[in-house]
Chains A and B, each alone.
Chain A
Amino acid sequence: MPDDTNDDTVEDGAPNAEHEATIATLARELGDGAVVESGVLGGANPGVASLVVRVRPDAWARAAHVCRSTLGYDYLCFIAGIDWMPMPAADEDAEGDTSAPVQPKEMTFGVAGSEGRFQAFAHVESTRVPRSGLTLKTDVDEQDPHVQSWFATYPGADWHERECWEMYGFVFDGHPNLRHIYLPSNFEGHPLRKDFPLLAREVKPWPGLVNVEAMPGEAGDDEEEAAS
């Protein structure tokens, strides 16, 4: 391993040799440009840096199989969804939002990019080989949100996909039992979508970070100022 991989100052996005090998294996096994983009989260320090690979939606289930059988990632950490839509309250006419940092008004995407608003992502780890885990992402169509299920490869994907289905409305093709897991069975809508209406916020908009008390010793801490 080259010495510079231990350098904490390396910025996000520079894969080390181990990452390169993983990407190469995925590209070889999935073939035909199925690996769309990749990036590294958290510097290039092995054990800390986490590789993020974005694959084409039609290669999602096969990617899971390659992770488990070829790459030896035997443990599925989680499957979840992402909605990259900006927070609705962050537009021009929202008043009183004091959130810091200021919420983005345009859609912004994380490491390895995205085609559109929705993404599914999953993190796998190895319990046998001491190395950092791998995060896989795939784009999900906004109008027709279908994702291939990982259930056949990782049976533990069962509850994660059910949660993702009820929270984001992603339909996991091949999942045997897609029904509500946390929400009441008559719940309508997908509450973790950014455009899900929160009735309380219709009445009183999100106030942001108002009324945050200063930590002891920080500027603005009353007792500290009284003592000085």
Chain B
Amino acid sequence: MSVEENLKHKLESRFPHMKDTVVVQRTRRMSADVAQERFFEVFDYLINEMQFTHLCTITGMDEVESFGIIYHLSREGEIVFSLRIHISHDNPKIKTVTGYFLEADAYERELNDLLGIEIEGLAPGHRYPLPDNWPKEDHPLRKDWKPESEVDHA
């Protein structure tokens, strides 16, 4: 059994609710969807028991009906595991992972600035990457945001 298949098996036996969601895309690439309320138990398991100790980045995307958030974790010298949650589009809110990875600070500020996702527990700090005078309600990576709207604020 390959390392990837082995990990898939372990994940599915530990978290029965993840059955059929863990995908081995190719060597060194895996992904899985998980419900938002079960996210931290799986995230914690991958980090603390499966040694996924590097957070490559966090990708956020507007899926129109929801927001998708992908945590790209990697195991030293090996697999990149993309763990995805979908959150409500009306009231997008997630909890910070800076308790696990300090570098997530910038990635989470990006989610907040570019997509308007509220990050619970994120320490106060500068906004990133948009300028300080950028309107708070404008989130450029949302699909309904069009570039010309910026001109009104210029």
Partners in one complex: no
